[in-house]
């Protein structure tokens, strides 16, 4: 309670003007096949998926290296900056990064997640599990879900309305094994039961758009289907009244469609046989697993009373962006998400063959990135968010695959994660051309010609690399540490 009060006080301190910091961040970062296509919220259009565009006339700036606040930051920037915090309790509570306009907070209280700050606060009272069915899903109330989704993405991207005094990226616990083989939770909350070595009960697949995630999701779907068949059918503890609302079943639906409701169920353990510690332990012991799919799940393990871990697939940022550009602009998918209204009106004529008129650089602010998926709560254009994303990818309860080495990653999953001993091994799962989840085979000749022209334009590609500098930084770190993450057992958060 003291910790929450301390940060509640800190949130009231003066902050830089929100307009100066920029309130427009990447929103088209959800699951491109399963989630809402276009919306509007009280804060304006969400469909465009705007990232924070560079100021006109100012070239993108590469942020400098980390500078710790040795003597502590001014009190108007940090509350008790010299006090340790973070999930482990040992990190400096507040840091300063060169070039970032706000301080970087390393501790986010359990009740300060974006779920709590948006829809969750209305359902914090445990009685809500008795008196209601929780936050609505897309199927039951599309308008309310759309409105919440816009606010949630603003929070994920560090909008000062939600973070106020400092960037507040979520940080995963850092579990580890001691010299004697003992398990150190590394700041993770204590769970009602422990998993076997290299295993978990809940696995959250964090879906990065256009990074092979749709294919990887199909592998997880196949794996869970085979698991259920081997066990004689679906988990009898799972309530069909809940799962019938999921678009991802047999995977847990953590997409925009159902995330708010599913999180509420995990927070309040409702219904207990499905979301409570005792029920989940019975399911785990029986051989069942709960594997989710969605782009919003970072940090969800903190609120689940069962051993929990994360999975994701990463892709070279320039290739990923160009694939997304082809998909949205040249192909016009997702109901022409990111298109201006005047472009949409001409889709049947002028733009039918060539796609939207914007080139990749001009379309950049319509496509979100992935930094905020791994460091929700901070502006993805800051060094604070970049360093938090790297830290989270390196946690012992995270395993990431690289699209460029996907076969290798799947083989490592089969050999090191007993819960996925057969993933990707089924001949029916083999693929080749669709590995990169691209749009080339769906482009018209005119659109394909445009794409080839842009890919061959060295100046344009150089500009894109500058715009994607933060994502490239995170990706390069992931490539460098790819082998190392497989050296030890998967741990749980």
Report yes or no: 436 and 323 within 8 Å, Cβ to Cβ. Answer: yes
- Taking the model in full, what pTM does it have? 0.81
Q: Which strand (E) or helix (H) includes residue 253?
A: strand 252-253
Which pLDDT belongs to residue 179? Answer: 65
Cβ-proximal residues to 135 (8 Å cutoff; 6+ apart), any chain = 119, 120, 122, 123, 148, 260, 261, 264
Which pLDDT belongs to residue 21? Answer: 25
Distance CA 213, CA 219 (A): 10
Which pLDDT belongs to residue 108? Answer: 73
CB atoms within 10 A of CB 448: 17
61, 101, 192, 298, 380 from 376: Cα distances, Å = 22, 17, 27, 7, 8
Which pLDDT belongs to residue 81? Answer: 55
Which pLDDT belongs to residue 134? Answer: 86
Alpha helices in 186-340 (DSSP H): 213-230, 240-243, 259-268, 272-275, 277-285, 317-325, 333-336
Hey, what's the torsion of the CAs at 224, 227, 231, 234, to 10 degrees?
A: 10
Which pLDDT belongs to residue 71? Answer: 26
Which pLDDT belongs to residue 227? Answer: 97
Angle at which helices 445-455 and 458-467 cross, to 10°: 80
Residue written as token pair 């016009």? 332
Which regions of the chain are under pLDDT 50? 1-77, 79, 430-437
Say whether 32 sits in a helix, a strand or coil.
Answer: coil
Cβ-proximal residues to 153 (8 Å cutoff; 6+ apart), any chain = 25, 26, 27, 29, 46, 372
Q: How distant is the alpha carbon of residue 14 from its chain centre?
A: 29
39, 338, 464 from 379: Cα distances, Å = 22, 21, 19
Burial of 85 (0-12, 13-18, 19+ CB in 10 A): buried
77, 129, 166 from 201: Cα distances, Å = 40, 23, 34
Distance CA 220, CA 422 (A): 10
Residue written as token pair 């930094």? 371
Tokens of 391: 């830290």
Say whether 103 sits in a helix, a strand or coil.
Answer: strand
Q: How many CA atoms lie within 13 A of 440 on its CB side?
A: 12
Report yes or no: 373 and 206 within 8 Å, Cβ to Cβ. Answer: yes
Which pLDDT belongs to residue 47? Answer: 33
Q: How distant is the alpha carbon of residue 137 from its chain centre?
A: 19
Nearest Cα to Cα of residue 385 among 25, 136, 60: 25
Which pLDDT belongs to residue 439? Answer: 52
Report yes or no: 105 and 94 within 8 Å, Cβ to Cβ. Answer: yes
């Amino acid at each position: 309670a003291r910790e929450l009060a301390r940060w509640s006080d800190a949130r009231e301190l003066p902050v830089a003007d929100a307009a100066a910091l920029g309130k427009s961040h990447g929103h088209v970062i959800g699951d491109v096949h399963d989630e809402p296509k276009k919306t509007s919220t009280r804060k304006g259009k969400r469909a465009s998926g705007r990232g924070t565009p560079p100021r006109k006339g100012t070239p993108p700036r590469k942020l400098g290296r980390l500078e710790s606040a040795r003597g502590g930051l001014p009190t108007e920037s940090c509350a008790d900056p010299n006090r340790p915090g973070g999930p482990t309790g040992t990190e400096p509570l507040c840091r300063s990064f060169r070039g970032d306009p706000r301080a970087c907070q390393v501790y986010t209280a359990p009740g300060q997640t974006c779920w709590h700050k948006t829809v969750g606060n209305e359902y914090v009272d445990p009685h809500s599990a008795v008196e209601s069915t929780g936050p609505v899903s897309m199927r039951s109330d599309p308008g309310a879900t759309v409105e919440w989704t816009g606010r949630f993405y603003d929070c994920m991207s560090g909008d000062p309305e939600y973070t106020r005094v400092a960037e507040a990226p979520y940080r995963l616990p850092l579990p580890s094994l001691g010299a004697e083989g003992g398990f150190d939770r590394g700041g993770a909350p204590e769970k009602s039961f422990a998993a076997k070595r290299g295993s978990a009960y809940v696995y959250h697949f964090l879906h990065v758009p256009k990074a092979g995630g749709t294919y990887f999701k199909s592998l997880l779907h196949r794996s869970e289907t085979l698991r259920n068949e081997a066990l004689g059918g679906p988990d009898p503890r799972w309530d069909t009244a809940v799962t019938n609302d999921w678009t991802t079943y047999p995977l847990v639906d953590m997409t925009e469609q159902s995330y708010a409701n599913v999180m509420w169920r995990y927070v309040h353990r409702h219904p207990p046989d499905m979301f409570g510690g005792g029920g989940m332990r019975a399911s785990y012991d029986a051989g069942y697993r709960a594997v989710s799919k969605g782009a919003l799940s970072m940090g969800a393990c903190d609120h689940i009373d069962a051993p929990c871990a994360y999975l994701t697939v990463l892709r070279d940022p320039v290739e990923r962006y160009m694939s997304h550009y082809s998909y949205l602009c040249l192909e016009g998918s997702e109901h022409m998400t990111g298109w201006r209204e005047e472009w949409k009106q001409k889709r049947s004529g002028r733009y039918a063959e060539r796609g939207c008129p914007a080139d990749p650089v001009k379309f950049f602010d319509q496509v979100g990135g992935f930094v905020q998926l791994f460091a929700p709560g901070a502006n993805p254009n800051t060094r604070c968010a970049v360093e938090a994303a790297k830290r989270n990818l390196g946690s012992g309860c995270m395993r990431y695959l690289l699209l460029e080495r996907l076969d290798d990653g799947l083989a490592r999953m089969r050999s090191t994660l007993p819960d996925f001993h057969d993933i990707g091994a089924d001949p029916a799962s083999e693929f080749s051309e669709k590995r990169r989840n691209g749009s080339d085979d769906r482009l018209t000749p005119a659109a394909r010609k445009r794409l080839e022209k842009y890919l061959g334009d060295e100046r344009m590609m150089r500009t894109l690399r500058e715009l994607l500098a933060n994502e490239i930084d995170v990706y390069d770190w992931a490539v460098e540490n790819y082998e190392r993450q497989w050296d030890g057992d998967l741990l749980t958060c």
